[in-house]
A and B are shown apart, each in its own frame.
Chain A
Amino acid sequence: MSLRARVALLLCLLFPVAAQNLKEFEKRVTEFALPNGLRFLLLERHEAPVVSFHTYVNAGSVDDPSSETGLAHMFEHMAFKGTDRIGTRNYREEAEALEAVERAYDQLEAEQAKGPPAARIEALQDQVRAAIAQAQSYVEPNAYPRIIEQNGGVGLNANTGEDSTEYFYSLPANRIELWFLLESQRLFHPVFREFYKERDVVREERRMRVESSPEGKLMEMLLATAFAAHPYRQPTAGWASDLERLRAKEAREFFLRYYVPANITIGIAGDVDPREARRLAGQYFAPLPARPLPPPLPTVEPPQEGQKRVQVETSSQPFLAIVYKRPGQNHKDDPVFDVLSGILDQGRTGILYKELVRDQRIALSASASATFPAGRYPNLFLIYVVPNARHSVEENEKACYDILDRLKREPVAADALARVKTALRASLIRQLDSNAGMAVQLTFYRVNYGDWRKLFLGLEDIGRVTAGDLQRVVRQYFVESARTVAYTSAPKGEGK
């Protein structure tokens, strides 16, 4: 049988894969919520005595107050600083010392707000430093992560995105109770110790990811340009000036507002006994008091009234990003955008690779992403190009438009469409044997689509996408007035 004949057969074989895997999976997934609203998703995989944990908080940098950008990320760092029992030598005295730090900062800020002359500023700064040193004397530094490391935890980290903040690690399966204890403690009693030193660390992280990276700078400017009002325009890392003035009391307010049990979903995948996990969840997390969900984000991005362009000067070789406005992830066209991104950048058969990289040789790489920077709110379809040496941004930009124009005129070939659908199905199968990966996926789909089964059932939506849908979506959304183009270029006078 030729491979071409196999494709037809494969499609028949693969269509039921979603349903089959789902049936098989449903037996191993347990979902429950505590009375306070905290939700758990458990996936049993008893292949090895290890367990992965993933805490998905439905709040991210879109929830940063506008003059406190970077706050969600700053809180994420504070979640490793310990609790009233972990990381302190004497919590009662430490708590008083931490309050003294805040008071000293309040005085300093009040004085700074008066404007010049800045007569008392230095004295007040000394007072802040002294208060911080006093509070520091009670700290058992890095005690919280040390307990995890010492118990064989791996992959310990966290991530702050636009829509979410996620905390994760894996443990040997006999130490499950340790995770329940530690995670519940940091959601119950986080202590905002070492806040101002950690703020410097976060500032350093911004220097690394954004300020010293041509691509980081480009992406920051791209988002700030493409969105006029919606907070996707705010960098997750925060603007430098906001970041340098963040306060522990602001992080506490953010925590109280957004880290409410009903806004948190936890995925546990691996060698876990659901009954035991449910018992431990009740023991450790049920005492967390229920609190109201945060109000929905009011700001809606207004319609874009024309193309926007932004140029970022750096001495590096050029990069090009082209984005178009698209609706959020719960819109009916969401699966069409997913298939379209596959048509454009799937492996070596995607159109961008074939044309820009392979045939025209004007790009080192060219890719597409259906959802950027995140999906909960209306967002962007991204085309990202790294031009080859001696080939310009303009040349590559034009080649991208030629491709999009063709997609508007001509329907996508049936074999290309089938290939993308096959790839999306296979990529799901390839994820299923990873505890850590499945803990992420179950929580993501539960929070964002209301049902973890959407991980499987979403493939049926993908399967229904037609060449006609693709053509309609490209015609409707990929229009010049909804476009933003960002690129880097050499500073004037330094260019070749």
Chain B
Amino acid sequence: MRRFWLPLAVTLAALGQETELRFPPLGPVTIPKVETFTLGNGLRVYLLENHELPLVSGLALVRTGNLFDPPDKVGLATLTGVVMRSGGTAAKTGDQLDEELENVAASVESSIGETAGEVSFSALRENTGAVLEIFRDVLGGPRFRQDKIDLATTQLRSEIARRNDDAEALGAREFAETVYSKDTPYGWRIEYGTLARIRRDDLVAFHRRHFFPANILLAVYGDFAAPEMKARLEALFGGWDAVQPPVPPFPPVRGKPHPGVFLAAKDDVTQTVFSVGHLGGLLRDPDEPALEIMANILGGGFSSRLFLRLRTQLGWAYDIGAEWGAAYDHPGLFQVSGSTRSSSTTETIQVVLQELDRIRSAEVTGQELETAKEAALNGFVFHFDRPAKTLSRLLRYQYYGYPKDFIFQYRKAIEAVTKADVLRVARQYLRPQDFTIVAVGHPAEFGKPLSTLGLPLHPIDLTIPEPAAK
């Protein structure tokens, strides 16, 4: 069992001299010991006992993702993830699973996202055995019954029909797809046409290719005895002998910038939602901690520069923030995003660009650096406030190939960040000439037109390609 202590607390200068609070040292943080082992078929298991509540839960993390969708069948991974659970197992239809699980307040859920597939369960302790069996069958033996493929397809079609209704979701999607390029897997989207081409066989094949023991990390958490759980998992999964060649790496992000202003016009809003930014980086980049401090000073909370100027001082925005947005295995999205009344759209984006310029022009102040660093270091204990967080972190680190003690390396790196580092990384990594600016709003009501930004202006076509007639 490892322990660590946070740095001894400081006094509160901001309250004036008459109030000096002295904090006692923080009590020890207990880092739970996670047991790991690998079954003969390659399935890697992580167990963490916790007896506070009579509950057991688990997560299988599977190396797959919608980045592996065939270009003419975008939506295949998403659909596979949904119907794995809803389409039932050999023994039970999906509807039967719904009843059996909910009868005992348990759940088994599945989904496939961009760079991972997840199948999870949660059960009251006394039902662990029965629920684990369903979990195993959903993970390894889904039947993809056609009626539930049809249901999921209907649902996805409705989501396509609704995809331009919410301005914030629309802005986030257009920003991500534009920065990653619409002609790469990171920028593809599900259309009626791509859905229509997907057949049950495609789901079966996609599942078979990615869901095999050596491609899965399994974590189980809660109220059990580890030796018994180990035996139970061996009995349940040990005979699963599916073998496939290793899953290839995810496609790389192609770094071509898409500078300019991209405008989505909507006439039923009184506000403009905007994002400004470009590709970010990886969590493991040595400069990532300095970039995170930089982004926090720029727009990370109540104390940040963008909050101060656009919200507190100008009253133009309620929602405003910045994040460096590093991801584990491919460049994430650096973005400043927020919303403002239609009439101040252009001026607000100008203030954002000024602040981006300012953070590249001069060192941040000592107080800004101190606030950002102390927030991260004093709040570090919240990475350990629940034992399940340690387990989940360990699983992600393993999945993406990070060292087990990455969180401690990260803390050390935060401690070392200087004002000079912040300026250096802002200059090195923020590239104003590459900024993609996405705005969703009602242009007739913009006071100053967006063209006054002096940047190329591209309208976003919100037409939804109609489904082919059936």
Contacts and interface: CB of A to CB of B under 8 A. Distances in A.
**Among all A-B residue pairs, the 7 with the closest Cβ atoms:** A152-B378, A200-B315, A426-B105, A145-B302, A152-B379, A316-B165, A212-B269
Q: What bracket does the count of chain B residues touching chain A fall in?
A: 35 or more
Contact of A85 (B16, B29, B127, B385): B16
B308 A152 contact: no
Given A48-B30, A152-B377, A347-B102, A146 B371 contact: yes
Given A4-B103, A426-B105, A177 B312 contact: no
Nearest to B312: A141
A53 interface: no
Contact of A178 (B12, B105, B303, B382): B12
Contacts of B102: 346-349, 419, 423
B24 A174 contact: yes
A199 B315 contact: yes
B154 interface: yes
Contacts of B21: 177-178, 181
Nearest to A47: B52
Interface string A74-87: 00000010000110
A480 interface: no
Interface in B7-40: 9, 12, 14-16, 19, 21, 23-30
B341 interface: yes
A418 to B, nearest CB: 8
Given A364-B155, A423-B102, A174 B25 contact: yes
A142 B23 contact: no
B285 interface: no
Interface stretch (B156-164, B251-259, B403-411): B156-164
A197 B313 contact: yes
Interface string B364-388: 0000001100110111111011110
A3 interface: yes
A300 to B, nearest CB: 35
A178 B379 CA distance: 14
Instruction: Report whether over half of chain A's contact residues are helix, strand or loop; otherwise say mixed.
Output: helix
A149 interface: yes
B267 A315 contact: yes
B95 to A, nearest CB: 8
Interface string B150-180: 0100110111111001110000000000000
B381 A145 contact: no
Given A7-B103, A349-B98, 13 more contacts: A48-B386, A146-B302, A172-B382, A197-B314, A198-B315, A201-B315, A204-B339, A205-B319, A208-B339, A357-B155, A364-B158, A423-B102, A427-B105
A374 interface: no
Interface residues of A, number: 81
A347 B270 CA distance: 36
Contact of B103 (A178, A415, A435): A415
A264 interface: no
Interface of B: 6, 9, 12, 14-16, 19, 21, 23-30, 52-55, 95, 98-100, 102-105, 107, 122, 124, 126-127, 130, 151, 154-155, 157-162, 165-167, 266-271, 273, 301-303, 307-308, 311-319, 339-341, 370-371, 374-375, 377-382, 384-387
A425 B374 contact: no
Given A175-B9, A202-B318, A349-B99, A197 B380 contact: no
A149 B29 contact: no
Given A197-B313, A389-B161, A146 B14 contact: yes
Nearest to A315: B268
B381 A50 contact: yes
Given A149-B302, A152-B377, A208-B319, A170 B382 contact: yes
Contacts of A47: 52, 385-387
Residue among B15, B105, B130, B374 having the largest count of chain A Cβ atoms under 10 Å: B105
Nearest to A212: B269
B151 A175 contact: no
Interface in A123-150: 141-143, 145-147, 149-150
A10 B53 contact: no
Nearest to A270: B385
A467 to B, nearest CB: 17
A92 interface: no
A364 B159 contact: yes
9 contacts: A85-B19, A86-B15, A142-B302, A152-B379, A170-B385, A175-B9, A204-B317, A211-B270, A432-B52
B151 A152 contact: no
A201 B318 contact: yes
A113 interface: no
Given A174-B24, A211-B270, A204 B340 contact: yes
A291 B423 CA distance: 53
